[in-house]
């Protein structure tokens, strides 16, 4: 942390708050704070106002549990979306990534995390029960489990899939494998295993 003698208290306070962001250390927080200090007063007030609005305007969609200013969110309210297919993701950032890809036109369900017993995160802390209730209530035909390929993500996928099969719904898992442009010899063992397991026929 920057020494109190080097920066005024107001700047130190901003640096400390910025350090709370994931992946932001002392040097990065200091660089961000100094950049904000160079902004005009109007720009700084706009940043402050946008942060202040977060908890006042944004809520969780009652259906998919993503962040939204309206309930239901625009995706759940869109009649053109496929209502019988749900894609389960870990957090709203994953939902945004899939939407940017433009490859999925169904609905979503956000778990808000993955199972992590050592960190005190169990099924009760995630939106798993809400998913099961939604499957039964809305007549869902397929659930696509799109959690990450990390150890926690895989464990969560298995747990959710086992629960869903008891509800007589088709459960699928997104394929994981080699990313486009990657040289095969640089792939790790897990990536290669998943790529082979998810292989498919080549079009004639």
CATH of the domain at 14: 1.10.8.420
One digit per residue, pLDDT tens: the chain, 204 residues? Answer: 444 468 999 999 999 999 999 999 999 999 999 999 999 999 999 999 999 999 899 999 999 999 999 999 999 999 999 999 999 999 999 999 999 989 899 999 999 999 999 999 999 999 999 999 999 999 999 999 999 988 899 999 999 999 998 898 999 998 887 777 888 888 888 778 877 877 777 655
Q: Report the pLDDT value the prediction gives residue 183, as an integer from 0 to 100.
A: 84
39 and 106 in a single domain? The answer is: no
Does the residue 72 lie in any domain?
Answer: no
94 and 168 in a single domain? The answer is: yes
- Domain span at residue 151 reads 81-173
Structure tokens at 141: 């035909």
Q: Report the pLDDT value the prediction gives residue 204, as an integer from 0 to 100.
A: 59
Q: Report the pLDDT value the prediction gives residue 42, as an integer from 0 to 100.
A: 97
Q: How many domains does the chain have?
A: 2
Query: Could you read off the pLDDT of 136-153 as tens digits, one per residue?
Result: 999 999 999 999 988 899
Place of tokens 């080549």: 202
Does the residue 197 lie in any domain?
Answer: no
Q: Report the pLDDT value the prediction gives residue 187, as an integer from 0 to 100.
A: 80
51 and 88 in a single domain? The answer is: no
91 and 50 in a single domain? The answer is: no
52 and 85 in a single domain? The answer is: no
102 and 169 in a single domain? The answer is: yes
97 and 161 in a single domain? The answer is: yes
What's the predicted TM-score (pTM) here? 0.83
101 and 163 in a single domain? The answer is: yes
49 and 86 in a single domain? The answer is: no
Does the residue 185 lie in any domain?
Answer: no
124 and 165 in a single domain? The answer is: yes
Residues contacting residue 178 through CB under 8 Å, at least 6 positions apart: 184, 187, 191, 192, 195
Other Cβ atoms less than 10 A from the Cβ of 86: the count is: 25
90 and 36 in a single domain? The answer is: no
With the CA atoms of 51, 53, 56 and 59 taken in that order, what torsion angle do they form, in degrees rounded to the nearest 10? Answer: -80
Q: Report the pLDDT value the prediction gives residue 2, as an integer from 0 to 100.
A: 45
């Amino acid at each position: 942390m920057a020494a109190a003698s080097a920066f005024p208290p107001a700047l130190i306070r901003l640096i400390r708050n910025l350090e709370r962001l994931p992946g932001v250390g002392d040097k990065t927080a200091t660089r961000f704070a100094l950049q904000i200090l160079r902004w005009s007063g109007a720009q700084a007030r706009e940043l402050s106002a946008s942060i202040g609005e977060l908890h006042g305007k944004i809520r969780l969609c009652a259906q998919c549990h993503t962040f939204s200013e309206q309930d239901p969110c625009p995706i759940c309210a869109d009649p053109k979306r496929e209502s019988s297919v749900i894609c389960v993701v870990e957090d709203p950032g994953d939902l945004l990534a899939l939407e940017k890809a433009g490859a999925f036109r169904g609905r979503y369900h956000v778990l808000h995390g993955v199972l992590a017993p050592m960190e005190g995160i169990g099924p009760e802390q995630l939106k798993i029960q809400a998913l099961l209730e939604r499957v039964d209530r809305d007549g869902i035909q397929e659930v696509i489990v799109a959690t990450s390929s990390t150890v926690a993500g895989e464990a969560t996928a298995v747990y959710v899939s086992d629960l869903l099969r008891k509800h007589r719904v088709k459960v699928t898992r997104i394929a994981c494998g080699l990313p486009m442009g990657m040289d095969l010899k640089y792939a790790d063992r897990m990536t290669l295993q998943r790529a082979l397991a998810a292989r498919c026929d080549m079009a004639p």
